[in-house]
Chain A
Amino acid sequence: MDQNKDKNRTISVLLVDDEKGYLNVLSNRLSKRSIHATKAFSGTQGIQILRKHDFDVVVLDLKMEDMDGIEVLKIMKKMVPDLPVIILTGHGSQTAAREGMAQGAFDYLSKPCELQELMDKIRDAHKNREPL
């Protein structure tokens, strides 16, 4: 089926999080599931990578040492307005989540989350972006 085909296509994802341990294991697991993950260990790094490469989806942490996730989100949205960004954060503040959504984030997930749930969201985001 078309949908299955779509599901199996490699999606390129940029993961931005300053938790190196988390990013490593997450990218490994995603890659194993046909999602090509690129890691950025800080907000600045994430923006730099995005300048050079195209991604289908960005997964972004909100609380990073160098930059606030919301700021990163704003910059990324300026660079690629239709880029879907999924917020994945350990900071459970709904205010921050709401602000993220207001700034154009695609969805919101809190850590720790089920891998399947994250993958579903990534796929949704990607599907949403692709013109039908």
Chain B
Amino acid sequence: MEHVPEDRHIFYQVLTRKITMLIVIVSFFPMLLTTGILFSRFNGAYADKVRAHISELVQKHTQNIDTFLAEKTGNIRFMAQNFNPRQQSAEAFLKQNLALLKKEYGDVFTDVGLVDDKGIQFAYEGPFNLKNADYSSAQWFLMAQDQSVYISDVFAGLRGHPHFIIAVHLQGQDSHYILRSTINFGAFNSLVENIHLGKTGMAFIVNARGSLQTQTHVDLLPEVIQSVPKPKDFNDKATVFIKKEDNTGREYVCVAAMFKNIDWMMVFHQDLDDAFRDLQSTKWLTLSIFTLGCIAIVFVAFALPRNIVHLLSSADKKSEVMNRQVVESGKLATIGELAAGIAHEINNPVAIMVEEAGWIEDLLEEEDLKQCENLDEFTRALRQINTQGRRCKEITHKLLSFARKTDSTINDVQVNDSIREIVSLTGQMARYNNVIIETRLNEGIPYIRISPSELQQVILNLINNAIDAMEKTGGTISIETKISHIENKHLVIVIQDNGPGIPRDNLARIFDPFFTTKPVGKGTGLGLSICYGIIEKMNGKIDVQSEVGAGTKFRIWIPFQEIEEQTT
């Protein structure tokens, strides 16, 4: 429970909330904005970079294959131009040239053959037995009729495994032929198959109708092959980039480039996650840092204001206690001055009264008053004046001594005397409340250097509290002084009552400022906290033990050094 006034409590709550909000706004939103902007910019730049990289790769390989095809076509055309049936038999020509080609290019060219205008291959050189094969109905033959050079799609043909053909039209003197050569599919395929990027990046070639022209090491879904860009999509661009999702929900990218020499298309295919893997990991890293940042901000935004406000509230409390202390001691000082004034004003007339009574006594001695009936009564009355005058003197001296003690100047103090003075001051009130004050004062206590008025304030407060507690029941307050030799020398003052005691819950908070169990307007809740402050200032210690129904015991330790042996 906070012992602060309600409006102050609300003020602290509002302050906490305001600081929290401020921290959140000032640090959270700029961070959110910065992270967002940076990430989106980075995302864009990185995606552009990945696209450019793949496009470049595709273009480069497209050019490679274009060059390959142009070169092989050029080889066959060159060969065709050199054919002269009059000088050399067709078989000999083919054999010689295939040997030359194999020597120059290795296994790229599988075979060569000459086909007449009826589609019959009248001469053949190669590993298969294809002499006199009839190509009249083969698609490549029909297509090659109208073009000087023709490159076929990949097909199985008569030999039963994939290959493609380069056919060159030859115009003889009386007839025309077609010189055809089969390109080794493996050699061609490896040009495409070796394109790899990441884990899933691979390339393949499709023809104008969208049929696959190369082998791939994974099975491609037909829809993936169907979805490759169409030639019309290019619009004069070198490559086309598309992003799609297959029916298993996996996103992928396709980058396509057209060949120059043939209406085939080079297609690069990669899973989107794979292509943007680095971006993805950056995204996670950014998100993690951002989340950690948010947590840190939230933690600081909640913890920091609490701490600050807590410090503020305890500083406020302290200053409040000090203010009250100043006010209290100011009040005491004012009362002290007033008391001193009154005492002085009273002392003089009382002195005159007492002396005048004495004077009457003196004079009465001289008179012969043996006959006087009232002589005894005169004497008694004069003695009474004297007694009461002395009583007045005692009262004014107490007032004056109280006035003297209201400053916090440090003096050599005989604690027992201070206690006696307080006991005599509070005696009247104690008697009124049926409370007996007993003292057990160790006479061996030396003079110690403290502020006498502050010590009296503490003892007075404890006695007053004890009297208040036993207001209804009456009881005994015992005050004991002794010397303790534990660690350093300490003066110990024990003030014990046999009143109702303090409940355990209240005991822990008894020295807290503003904690009071007295009715509103009766106690400020500062008495004991001021006592605590005073004893702490003396480098001393104050503690309390209490049992409900048995009583309460306050113990005060004040350290002292026995340096001066002086007495008055």
Interface residues, chain A, with chain B CB atoms under 8 Å away: 19, 21-22, 25-26, 28-29, 32, 63, 90-95, 110-113, 115
Contact = CB atoms under 8 A, between A and B. Distances in A.
Interface stretch (B241-249, B350-358, B421-429, B548-556): B350-358
Contacts of B401: 92
A29 B354 CA distance: 12
B215 interface: no
Contacts of A111: 347-348, 350-351, 393
Contacts of A29: 355, 358-359, 362
Contacts of B344: 63, 90-92
Nearest to B339: A92
Given A32-B362, A92-B397, A112-B390, A26 B355 contact: yes
A93 B351 contact: no
A94 B404 contact: yes
Contacts of B389: 112
Contacts of B358: 25, 29, 115
B396 interface: yes
Interface residues of B, number: 25
Contacts of A93: 340, 400, 404
Contacts, number: 67
Most buried by B among A63, A95, A113: A113
A25 B397 contact: no
Contacts of A94: 404
A90 B348 contact: yes
Contacts of A32: 362
16 contacts: A21-B356, A25-B358, A29-B362, A32-B362, A90-B343, A90-B348, A91-B340, A91-B347, A92-B344, A92-B397, A110-B393, A111-B351, A111-B393, A112-B389, A112-B390, A112-B392
Contacts of A28: 359, 362
A92 B400 contact: yes
Given A22-B351, A111-B351, A115-B358, 20 more contacts: A22-B348, A22-B355, A25-B352, A29-B355, A32-B362, A92-B340, A92-B344, A92-B397, A92-B404, A95-B404, A110-B347, A111-B347, A111-B348, A111-B350, A112-B351, A112-B353, A112-B390, A112-B392, A112-B393, A115-B355
A95 to B, nearest CB: 8
Contacts of A91: 340, 344, 347
Nearest to A21: B352
Interface in B509-535: none
A129 B7 CA distance: 73
Nearest to A92: B400
A26 B351 CA distance: 10
Given A29-B358, A29-B359, A112-B390, A92 B396 contact: yes
Contacts of B343: 90, 92
Interface in B308-359: 340, 343-344, 346-348, 350-356, 358-359
A1 B282 CA distance: 121
A113 B58 CA distance: 125
Contacts of B400: 92-93
Nearest to B397: A92
Contacts of A26: 355
Q: Tell me the interface secondary structure of chain B in the complex.
A: helix
The 6 A-B residue pairs with the shortest CB-CB distance in the complex, in nearest-first order: A90-B347, A92-B400, A112-B351, A111-B351, A25-B355, A112-B354
Contacts of A63: 344
A15 to B, nearest CB: 12
Contacts of B397: 92, 110
B355 A92 contact: no
Interface in B383-435: 389-390, 392-393, 396-397, 400-401, 404
A65 B212 CA distance: 130
Nearest to A112: B351
A98 to B, nearest CB: 11
Contacts of A115: 355, 358
Interface string B283-313: 0000000000000000000000000000000
Nearest to A63: B344
B413 to A, nearest CB: 13
Most buried by B among A90, A92, A93, A112: A112
A113 B358 CA distance: 11
Nearest to A26: B355
A34 to B, nearest CB: 13
A90 B393 CA distance: 10
A112 B340 contact: no
Contact of A92 (B347, B350, B353, B392): B347
A95 B352 CA distance: 24
A93 B347 CA distance: 12
A19 B355 contact: no
Contacts of B356: 21, 25
B393 to A, nearest CB: 5
Nearest to B365: A32
Contacts of A22: 348, 351-352, 355
Nearest to A25: B355
Contact of B359 (A25, A95, A112): A25
Contact of A19 (B340, B348, B354, B359): B348
B362 to A, nearest CB: 5
B153 to A, nearest CB: 126
A90 B353 CA distance: 13
B447 to A, nearest CB: 15
A19 B351 CA distance: 10
Contacts of B392: 112
Contacts of A92: 340, 343-344, 347, 396-397, 400-401, 404
